[in-house]
């Protein structure tokens, strides 16, 4: 560790934690005169200047997204320091006085049901706020859950797995999936897209372990553990602990289903199904509900109501102004003052996008959209261009929930103005489908991308840039659904086409090849049909 303060202000006082992703130190912020926690991360994947640049971009993006989770169960991230060699990354965080969850888990000293459920319910509350951003944790496990002295549960390390991830999981001697094998969802093992449903599977693993004192699966090797997550049926909790209520056992089994879309619809549903096993407001604690000696009481906050973030309002759209009916009179030419405003906004937007300040870029164009729509009409090409920029910047910022209705509205507008097969309409439809995929709506995302691909093929063939991206995305979504054979039948011919046109050393060709290598491992034991 450095002898000099990090970034000239953070002094390292005492190491109190060590994990697979780095060391944790008790530190001191000399500028603001406060204690802090400092986590050192060593990214193993940074082996060249190009990879260093990509890592820095990923880190900045993920740190900004993670910073948007506003919840007391998520320790604040105060600062992040990446040294010039890219060998050390320091995250400076809120210092929490508490104990990691593994300290309370023991097969011979089982936790009270209400204690275990209270921890899971608090984690669900935190996830409801994260998934609303949306942020997927990717590495939820007992070691990343801390019980503070007042009984508040803190979920640590949001964003770190995303910062360190590789674009394709490598189940080879040269790499491994980001995550912890005992809590890794089947889609994560396969290297497919992670969604909020991935966190629900991990929450099921954590709740299972809290209630019976042992991990869901055990094995002699990482490979054996991963294979069990993909293939093996979990042991129902009541076979391991008779006093677990049947409805709670059913919830855990529901969380642990292999297919992401077969799990509960969202984390709010999980919370509602946990509520019957939580203490009622004002209900005193009993001797039977007491946790380990000296342990904080996570049921306390439920005796005083504490609930997750409400779902976003249904039916909200990103439309601005009233839709212009087909055949309406064309708007007047762009006034000179408005033209200057649009030019200035475009320049400001481009500068912010170059700096990867995507949320600010969306706000900049958003400020002009309403006045431009009043002057020109909501489907004027200038207004649509502004709306499209806002949707793209929201998408890049990770705000898929806001970008989705914007892209859908744009697809309808461009379809009316330029035709349903126009480039703008097809691209908007494809981006809307990608947003759905990021939000875990995989079936709808697949249908949307496949519809767009059919039209793109008819216009530009199988190897146009748009067609290649669509084929790749469809294959990855199929893999996320566990449809391994279908994913192989999409990605294998794509790889052959890419080898012919771009060559085997092209970055995209290599990415598809690595995904095919995962499929060929045939973890399901099913008929992937792939050659060896």
What is the percentage of the chain residues whose pLDDT exceeds 90? Answer: 50
Distance between CA atoms of residues 8 and 2, nearest Å = 11
Instruction: Write the CATH number for 198.
Output: 1.10.510.10
Find residue 129's DSSP bridge partners.
none
Q: Are residues 35 and 68 in the same domain?
A: yes
467 vs 20: CA distance, rounded Å: 39
CA-based R_g, the chain, Å: 25
Residue 136's pLDDT band, with cuts at 50, 70 and 90, is very high
Q: Ranked by mean pLDDT, which of 27-31, 266-270, 298-302, 310-314 comes out on top?
A: 266-270
Which residue in 139, 297, 427, 492 is the catalytic one?
Answer: 139
In a domain, 363, yes or no: yes
Res 45: pLDDT: 53
Q: What pLDDT is recorded for position 463? A: 87
CATH, residue 395: 1.25.40.10
C-alpha to C-alpha distance for 244 and 250, rounded to whole angstroms: 10
Give 161's pLDDT tier (boundaries 50, 70, 90).
low
77 and 221 both lie in a single domain: no
Asked whether residue 205 carries a pLDDT value surpassing 90, the answer given is yes
Find the angle CA(496)-CA(501)-CA(503) to the nearest 5 degrees.
75
pLDDT of residue 303: 79
Query: Where is pLDDT greater, at 63 or 170?
Result: 63
| Cα distance between residue 246 and residue 26, in whole Å | 43
What's the CATH code of the domain at 25?
3.30.200.20
Higher model confidence: residue 428 or residue 134?
428
Of 37, 64, 93, the residue at which a domain comes to its end is 93
pLDDT at residue 288 in the model:
72
Whether 450 is in a domain gets the answer: no
**Boundary of a domain, candidates 58, 78, 93:** 93
Q: Are residues 428 and 480 in the same domain?
A: no
The reply to whether 64 and 105 lie within a common domain is: no
On whether both 207 and 122 belong to a single domain, the answer is yes
Task: Round to whole Å and give the CA distance between 75 and 93.
Answer: 7
Query: pLDDT for 210-223, tens place per residue?
Result: 999 999 999 888 88
Domain containing residue 514? 463-532
More confident residue, 239 or 56: 239
Average pLDDT over residues 331-346: 75
At residue 530, the 3 state secondary structure works out as: coil
Mean pLDDT of the 396-423 span: 92
Q: Give pLDDT tens digits for 368-407.
A: 998 888 888 888 999 999 999 999 999 998 999 999 999 9
Query: Are 340 and 433 part of one and the same domain?
Result: yes
Task: Please check whether residue 417 lies inside any domain of the structure.
Answer: yes
386 and 488 together in one domain: no
Decide: residue 375, CB within 10 A, 0-12 exposed, 13-18 middle, 19+ buried.
middle
Mean predicted confidence (pLDDT) in 480-502? 92
Q: How far apart are the first and last CA of the chain?
A: 46
Residue 344 pLDDT: 92
Task: Give the pLDDT of residue 357.
Answer: 86
79 and 22 in one domain?
Answer: yes
Q: What is the pLDDT of residue 22?
A: 67
Lowest mean pLDDT across 48-52, 107-111, 158-162 = 48-52
Residue 46 counted as domain residue: yes
Total count of domains within the chain: 4
Note whether residue 235 is domain-resident.
yes
Q: Which residues contact 18 (CB under 8 A, 6 or more apart)?
A: 24
pLDDT at 44: 61
pLDDT mean over 453-464: 89
Better-predicted residue by pLDDT, 61 or 277: 277
Choose one of 93, 120, 155: the last residue of a domain: 93
Active site residue 139: yes
Extract the tokens encoding 532.
Answer: 């060896």
Residue 329 has pLDDT above 50, yes or no: no
3-state secondary structure of 235: coil
- State both tokens at 104: 């309370």
What pLDDT, on the 0 to 100 scale, is given for residue 528? 43
Q: Are residues 133 and 278 in the same domain?
A: yes
User: Does residue 283 surpass a pLDDT of 70?
Assistant: yes
Query: Would you place residue 85 in the very low, low, confident or very high pLDDT band (cuts 50, 70, 90)?
Result: low
Summary mean pLDDT of the chain: 84
Find tokens 């104990």 and name the residue. Answer: 99
Residue 403 belongs to some domain of the structure? yes
pLDDT interval class at 36 (50, 70, 90): very high
- Let me know whether 66 and 108 are in one domain: no
127, part of any domain:
yes
**Ranges 124-138, 281-295, 454-468, 501-515: which has the least confidence:** 281-295
- Indicate if 259 and 157 belong to the same structural domain: yes
28 and 158 fall within a common domain: no
Tell me if 140 is assigned to some domain. yes
């Amino acid at each position: 560790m450095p002898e000099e303060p990090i970034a000239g202000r953070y002094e390292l006082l005492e190491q109190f934690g060590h994990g697979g992703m780095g060391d944790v130190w008790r530190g001191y912020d000399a500028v603001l005169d406060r204690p802090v926690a400092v986590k050192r991360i060593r990214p193993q994947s940074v082996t060249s200047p190009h990879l260093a640049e990509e890592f820095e971009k990923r880190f900045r993006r993920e740190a900004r997204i993670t910073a948007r989770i506003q919840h007391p169960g998520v320790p604040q991230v105060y600062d992040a320091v990446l040294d010039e060699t890219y060998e050390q990354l320091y995250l400076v965080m809120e210092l929490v006085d508490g104990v990691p969850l593994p300290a309370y888990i023991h097969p011979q000293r089982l936790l009270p049901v209400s204690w275990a459920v209270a921890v899971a319910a608090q984690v669900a509350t935190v996830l409801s706020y994260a998934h609303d951003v949306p942020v997927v944790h990717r590495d939820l496990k007992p070691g990343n859950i801390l019980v503070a002295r007042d009984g508040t549960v803190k979920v640590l390390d949001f964003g770190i797995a995303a910062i360190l991830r590789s674009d394709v999981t490598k189940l080879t001697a040269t790499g491994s999936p980001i995550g912890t094998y005992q809590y890794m969802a089947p889609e994560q093992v396969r290297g497919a897209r992670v969604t909020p449903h991935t966190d629900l599977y991990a929450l099921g693993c954590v709740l299972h372990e809290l209630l019976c004192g042992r991990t869901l699966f055990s094995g002699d090797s990482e490979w054996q553990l991963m294979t069990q997550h993909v293939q093996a049926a979990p042991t129902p909790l009541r076979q391991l602990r008779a006093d677990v209520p049947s409805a709670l056992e059913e919830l855990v089994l529901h969380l642990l289903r292999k297919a992401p879309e077969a799990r509960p619809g969202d984390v709010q549903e999980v919370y509602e199904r946990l509520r019957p096993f939580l203490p009622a407001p004002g209900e005193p604690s009993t001797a039977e509900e007491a946790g380990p000696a000296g342990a904080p009481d996570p049921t306390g906050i439920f005796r005083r109501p504490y609930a997750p973030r409400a779902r976003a309002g249904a039916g909200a759209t990103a439309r601005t102004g009233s839709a212009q009916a087909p055949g309406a009179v064309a708007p007047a030419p762009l006034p000179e003052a408005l033209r200057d405003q649009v030019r200035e906004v475009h320049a400001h937007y481009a500068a912010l996008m170059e700096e990867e300040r995507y949320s600010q870029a969306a706000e900049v164009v958003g400020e002009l959209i309403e006045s431009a729509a009043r002057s020109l009409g909501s489907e004027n090409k200038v207004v649509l261009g502004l709306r499209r920029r806002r949707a793209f910047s929201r998408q890049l910022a990770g705000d898929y929930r806001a970008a989705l209705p914007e892209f859908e509205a744009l697809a309808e507008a461009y379809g009316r103005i330029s035709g349903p097969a126009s480039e703008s309409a097809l691209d908007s439809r494809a981006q809307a489908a990608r947003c759905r995929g990021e939000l875990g709506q995989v079936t709808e995302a697949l249908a949307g991308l496949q519809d767009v691909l059919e039209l793109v093929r008819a216009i530009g063939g199988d190897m146009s840039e748009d067609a290649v991206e669509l084929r790749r995305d469809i294959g990855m979504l199929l893999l996320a659904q566990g449809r391994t054979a279908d994913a192989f039948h999409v990605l294998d011919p794509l790889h052959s086409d890419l080898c012919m046109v771009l060559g085997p050393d092209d970055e995209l060709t290599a990415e598809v090849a690595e995904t095919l290598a995962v499929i060929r491992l045939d973890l399901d034991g099913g008929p992937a049909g792939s050659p060896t």
